[in-house]
Structure 1
Amino acid sequence: MSVDFVIPYYGDPEYLFATIDSVRAQHRQDWRLTIVDDGYPGNRAFEYIQTLGDDRIRYQRNDERLGPNGNTYKASQLAEREFVCMMGADDLLEPDYLDVVLERLEADPQAIMVQPGVRLMDSDGNLLPSAGLGDKVKHAISSSARKAGRISGEAAVKGLLAGNWLYTPSLTYRQSALSKIPYRPDIDACHDLAFVVDMLMDGGTLLVDPREVFRYRRHQASDSSQRAKDGKRFDEEARYYALIADELRGRGWNGAARAADLHLTSRLHALMLAVGRLGAGDFAHAGTMAGKALRGK
């Protein structure tokens, strides 16, 4: 089985170099890697790839910046091999990552994606001894899916819209399912969730494997963290949840639609930020975040 790694890139090139090295260190070597540079200043990424002399690694640079959502969608459409991993440009693979995800996908023809176990690291690459509040919430709401090992249909979509517990950069997909998803503009903050929901709505099963073969970098410099601070994240999430709720009602998935209407974890996140800004004396920002939490938009 062959794999396409596609990395939508914009950020610290040192992180990207480590990510590339972790791909090259895989036990299974039947892979291709494509870097899609969204116009990050300088040429260090290209220069590093040139030094490797590895013809399995391709590089292309966008003429104009597409943003996280647009660049991720473009990267997804460049994948041609049977399986695809769209990892983050600052995350790392354990050497047996492909062993685990391909084993599961090969054993279950109905599976269209697999979520392996994830270890968290900080911005310096140090493994975190314990998860933060957000990750503890993810662990709690994913307990039934992890116990079952596989989810599908409306129940899967409802659960993810109630609280997105996935670490989507760690997922590996069947290219046949990934290639059919539509492009949804103006949802940079939750485009990864939208990818998975669209694939589940189209049929197929999401597998969950407990083996920890992926390292997810948790740091405050991420795009999603910045969007949460200025409120753009919640505007984009509200826009997406309203859109997907209408689509779900159209197919009779009313329970999943209600979960989208409520989008409880998104609103709780806004409320936590409101409390934090209130404690810092930033009353204007606190009021804005509280409004997003209470109104859901």
Structure 2
Amino acid sequence: MLDIMLPHYGGLALLKIAVESIVAQTDERWRLTVFDDNPADRQTGIPEYFAALGHPRVRYERNPENLGITRNFQQCVDRAEAPFMVIMGCDDVMLPRYVERVHALVDAHPGAVLVQPGVEVIGADGAVVRTLTDTTKRRVYAPKIDGTVTMVGEELAVSLLRGNWLYFPSLAWRTGEIRAVGFDPQLKVIQDLKLILELVTRGGTLVADAEVVFQYRRHNESLSASSAVTGNRFSEAQAFFLSTAARMDAHGWPRAGRAARWHLSSRIHALTMLPAAARQRSAGSVRVLTRYAFGKTR
């Protein structure tokens, strides 16, 4: 069984697409749990949808209080029961062979802690898109994946610190390992990378596969996108990368420490956000982004 945990914040339309993509899986060894973190006045039609769905492997729960993104993520980890779990985005799509392929990869690599299946990016309308961010991920930072590859240790840490090429909502995690580490409640938009790096320093193996079985939706209404334009994402990232550099040095991984201090892809991302901040006439955001992109590495 694969536990698919879905922390939800938005409306019903995209949620229905996500849920229906799970129900349509070719492999029935899955269970879906939805944790609705919407305020009561934003849950229009959602409880009714799940009541009408009536699927025996779909569970819907409304949080009694608003938890926020990181605490809702942690709830997903705490409540998972299966050996592997997914924390799926409420606007993403599983292609029909996702569960089947993840089970096959876990069977072939029984020591895997993380599984990154093949991903394609879609826009708000569901059409496949090519964005600058994702093209850069694949051509500059991601390893060349032909079939299936495994990565571990400092090699993996350096790769991710140069540019995080993973797609968090598509990852399958070994439940016991992710629960042993957990999410940092102080972080809002970079908590996934910190968690992954903690797993890597614990000796965790990543299995990455080329077969596309997941659609990651990218649009400008996401928390990470809005935080990037205002510069809030990079204020958080600055402290994260410098503290991570110190941890990597202490762990005996100097190349990973250097990659964390430079955090090149994150600096480039800040530069790409400058025009949007300028259009919004946000002098504060422009200052934050500029300092981050050209600031010192220590």
CA-CA distance at 1:91 after TM superposition: 0.3
Q: Which residue of 2 aligns with 1:117?
A: 118
Q: Quickly say closer, same or farther: Cα 1:118–1:296, change in 2 above 3 A.
A: farther
- For structure 2, the 5+ residue unaligned runs are none
Q: Which residue of 2 aligns with 1:12?
A: 11
* TM-score normalised over the length of structure 2: 0.92
Q: For residues 282 and 98 of structure 1, what CA distance do their matches in structure 2 show?
A: 45
Q: 2:89 touches 2:169 (CA, 8 Å); kept in 1?
A: yes
Q: Which residue of 1 aligns with 2:71?
A: 70
Q: Which residue of 2 aligns with 1:158?
A: 158
Q: Secondary structure at the match of 1:244?
A: helix
Q: Secondary structure at the match of 1:146?
A: coil
Q: 1:187 touches 1:237 (CA, 8 Å); kept in 2?
A: no
Count, aligned residues: 293
Q: Secondary structure at the match of 2:91?
A: coil
Q: Which residue of 2 aligns with 1:176?
A: 176
* TM-score normalised over the length of structure 1: 0.92
CA-CA distance at 1:46 after TM superposition: 1.9
Q: Which residue of 2 aligns with 1:28?
A: 27
Q: 2:142 touches 2:163 (CA, 8 Å); kept in 1?
A: no
CA offsets 1:174-232 (integer angstroms, 9 cap, x no match): 21222211331222111122222222221221111111110111111111101111111
Q: 2:183 touches 2:191 (CA, 8 Å); kept in 1?
A: no
Q: For residues 71 and 248 of structure 2, what CA distance do their matches in structure 1 show?
A: 23
Aligned-pair identity in percent equals: 34
CA-CA distance at 1:277 after TM superposition: 4.0
2:175 corresponds to which letter in structure 1? Q
CA-CA distance at 1:253 after TM superposition: 1.6
Q: For residues 277 and 54 of structure 1, what CA distance do their matches in structure 2 show?
A: 45
Q: Does 1:45 align with 2:46?
A: yes
Q: Quickly say closer, same or farther: Cα 1:54–1:276, change in 2 above 3 A.
A: closer
RMSD after superposition: 1.9
Q: 2:26 touches 2:97 (CA, 8 Å); kept in 1?
A: yes
Q: 2:73 touches 2:183 (CA, 8 Å); kept in 1?
A: no
Q: Which residue of 2 aligns with 1:135?
A: 134
Q: For residues 67 and 206 of structure 2, what CA distance do their matches in structure 1 show?
A: 28
Q: Quickly say closer, same or farther: Cα 1:240–1:65, change in 2 above 3 A.
A: farther
Q: Does 1:210 align with 2:210?
A: yes
For 1:255-266, list aligned pairs within 5 A.
255-266=255-266
- For structure 1, the 5+ residue unaligned runs are none
Q: Which residue of 2 aligns with 1:60?
A: 61
Deviates more, 1:100-109 or 1:185-194: 185-194
Q: Quickly say closer, same or farther: Cα 1:110–1:239, change in 2 above 3 A.
A: same
